[in-house]
Chain A
Amino acid sequence: MAKHSTRYFTAIAATALLSAGLVGQAGAQTIKIGVNEPLTGPFAASGTYVVNGAKIAADEINAKGGVLGKKIELVIEDNKSNPTEAAAVAEKLITADKVPVIMGAWGSSLTLAVMPKLMEYKVPMVVETSSSGKITTSGNPYIFRISPPSSVEAAAFKNILPKMSVKKADFLVINNDWGRGAAEDFGKTMKADNVQIGLVETMDQSAQDMSAQLSKIKSTDSDTIMVTTAVEQLTLLLKQATALGIKKQIITTGGSQNPDQLIDQAGVAANGTFHLTTFAPWYPDDTPNPVATKYFLGEWKKRGFNFAGATESFRGYDGIRTIAVAIEKAGKAEPEAITKALWETELMGLNGKIKFEKQGPAGKESGQSMPNVYLIKVDNAKVVLPKL
């Protein structure tokens, strides 16, 4: 028994090495787009939403005849919520699958791990979710980001802030680049507007009980809590804040807070909370691109996906559409041409115009698009656009 199995394993390993060298030789009848997303591990839920959005975009484009007369094909790989794997996946997509352009990689540490590979192979990547400032400022000319870093969000918040009654705010943020970045950028914006900043508390990415942090915040004299985290943790946080009898105004940032899931899972605890978001699927007529929004939401429903996922997945949809427009403009599916074309790409995304502005050190700037930011409010278990 033991002998056979050993032989068997050696055989597997050998075949694997041989066969892996042979993949990626498919004909050039389609145009490939690499998708590097977390499909297992801690970020699996979000990564899956983004991929679902990407698939809707690809199907829509192919139904209309594809790009440059060819169908587009998404090569979707799981980066396992792990930076080492994210880099390996990029390597595979570029060298084995020969994709001329990638979309990815959700989290900032995942995207940062992929970036040296883009430099090495000179392949562009459209960044759909990551928020770290370093991504566009470290001098990587193959980065084109459609999601807003917290500085952009904070700048948009500047216009809303005077209309809200905020005198002193505490922060409670997820302990990663996203949360810390938001605390810093929003803190600056608010200070400039004469709002006092109280506590800045963090919570671990995987934490489920935030009662301790909330109890501390409960006893301060602030009137507002600024919260940045993903939807699951936010649900817990709102429930726990209610349980502790916290009456302060809660404003969330970050744009993936998914108010429907909140209403569904946090119940009355979500009432009266404000959310800064980049996509408002509840009022398709008020979005910058009502036709596309309605189509996207219709498809999302038709495929049986949870409506709540739409606020996360629309970035995957926009990302693939951006890439398709760039390929069309480039006239050929080659990395260099697409990189160049991305600078000239302009389209109406689900949350406003997508057009890349230059950021980072001169000569090797990265692209950053500036999306719209909305403020919404949950009132009696319904999402409303507050009149300010």
Chain B
Amino acid sequence: MKRLLPCIALLALASVPMWLKDPYLLNAFVTTGIFIIAAMSLNLLLGYTGQLSLAHVAFFGIGAYTSALVALGFDVELVGGIRVVHEPWPVWLGFVIAILVSGVCGYIVGKLSFRVRGAYFVIVTISFAEVVRLVALNWVELTQGPLALTSIPPLTLGLPGLGYFDFFSKQSNFYLVLGVVALSYVIINRLVNSRIGRAMVALKENEWLAVSVGIDVTRYLVLAAVVSAAIAGAAGSLYAHYLKIIDPDVFLFLYTVTMVIMVITGGKGTLAGPIVGGLIFGFIPVVARSFASPELQWILYGLFMILIVFLLPQGIVPAIEKWFGVGEEPREPGATKPKLQDVP
């Protein structure tokens, strides 16, 4: 059952472009899918290590900018008169480099931020996101700042002997995004079910205890941050090549909020949570648009979010698992877990 369900869900989703011909809805699926990937990566931190990072949009944006710049090329002069000129490279390389660069940024941010926990950690990660946004806005020579990077080419895949395939149509982008969702799912699944994953969960449940049995807490947290940032970077890269234009708005705080909503309403610490939460909150705006005035759409969105948290504090997926009697042992809704003080 546990193994079968993801496969059925994958098949069901894969069939969507075959019967859904409306490009607007397909577009909503693709953008929602991209944010689901980002939400899955956030879930790795929030759900499995218990650390709420609001810097995720930074990794998403770094991935988007890296990928676009590798594909478009740039010419900047660094401090000390060193001039760096980069000729455009194949787009798929941009995708790979975006993942690497985001991962490295995840390492740096993780190393710094994991000195603190709780509310401090939340604010520190917001600070990182803001600083990165302001750099993207003001380093005009590299990022074009508010003038935006335009004409970003679609992702292409070189198949030896078969020529190139580019992801231009909505259908192909749908499968591309679905593929990355599936891949991220597999990676996160392998990770959390390994020894490393169990260590992460142990330190989420009780960090002092984990330390006392010899788990190197910061190492595991940083590892989670690296993988998480790399996946978020992949999502950002997909975003850049799908939307074909990026500007510092890619660091909108609203995007972080979207990811957090997807994870928590869907069920943090469950593999399917961000996907279920993502599909619901990705499509609420689409549904609300058809009957409500603009402000009312937002008000409904906010109220619905509060309602879900009130009714299902553990998230939708754990509630369903409990309903069908599968999954982990039932937990008390809103139960207090042993928590760390907010000081290291």
Chain A residues close to B by CB (< 8 Å): 1-3, 5-6, 9, 12-13, 16-17, 19-21, 23, 39-40, 77-78, 80, 82-85, 87-88, 91-92, 95-96, 108-109, 112-113, 115-116, 132, 134, 138, 175-177, 179-181, 202
Contacts and interface: CB of A to CB of B under 8 A. Distances in A.
A112 B247 contact: yes
A84 B146 contact: no
B113 interface: no
B116 interface: no
Nearest to A5: B311
B140 to A, nearest CB: 7
B286 interface: yes
Contacts of B290: 19-20, 23
Contacts of B25: 17, 20-21
B279 A88 contact: no
A177 B249 CA distance: 12
A134 B27 contact: no
A92 B24 contact: yes
A91 B319 contact: no
Contacts of B295: 39-40
B147 A177 contact: yes
Contact of A83 (B23, B145, B147, B247): B247
B243 interface: yes
A365 B22 CA distance: 30
A3 B319 CA distance: 8
Contact of A180 (B146, B289, B297, B307): B146
A132 B146 CA distance: 10
Interface string B91-115: 0000000000000000000000000
Interface of B: 20, 22-25, 27-28, 31, 137-138, 140, 145-148, 150-151, 243-245, 247, 249-250, 252, 254, 279-280, 283, 285-287, 289-290, 294-295, 297-298, 307-308, 311-312, 316, 319-320, 323
B148 A132 contact: yes
A84 B243 CA distance: 7
Contact of B27 (A5, A12, A40, A91): A91
A99 to B, nearest CB: 12
Top 9 nearest A-B pairs by Cβ distance?
A78-B294, A16-B287, A176-B146, A39-B294, A92-B24, A95-B23, A116-B244, A109-B247, A177-B146
A175 B312 contact: no
Given A2-B311, A78-B294, A109 B286 contact: no
B151 A138 contact: yes
Contacts of A83: 243, 245, 247, 249-250
Contact of A77 (B289, B320, B323): B289
18 contacts: A2-B311, A5-B308, A9-B308, A12-B287, A16-B287, A21-B20, A23-B290, A40-B295, A77-B289, A82-B249, A87-B27, A91-B23, A132-B148, A134-B150, A176-B146, A179-B146, A180-B145, A202-B138
A112 B150 contact: yes
Contacts of B280: 9, 13
Contact of A16 (B145, B148, B283, B319): B283
A4 B283 CA distance: 20
Contacts of B311: 1-2, 5
Given A9-B316, A12-B287, A180 B254 contact: no
Given A2-B312, A5-B311, A82 B289 contact: no
A202 B140 CA distance: 13
A82 B254 contact: yes
Given A12-B287, A175-B138, A6 B323 contact: yes
A82 B252 contact: yes
A39 B293 CA distance: 9
Contact of A91 (B24, B140, B151, B323): B24
A116 B240 CA distance: 12
A118 to B, nearest CB: 12
A39 B296 CA distance: 11
A357 B312 CA distance: 58
A46 B299 CA distance: 21
Contacts of B147: 132, 134, 177, 180-181
B45 to A, nearest CB: 23
Contact of B24 (A39, A84, A88): A88
A95 B22 contact: yes
A175 B137 contact: yes
Contacts of B28: 88
A147 B150 CA distance: 20
Contact of B245 (A39, A92, A113): A113
Given A3-B323, A112-B245, A13 B279 contact: yes
A180 B243 contact: no
B27 A177 contact: no
B9 to A, nearest CB: 13
A283 B19 CA distance: 58
A202 B283 CA distance: 38
Nearest to A92: B24
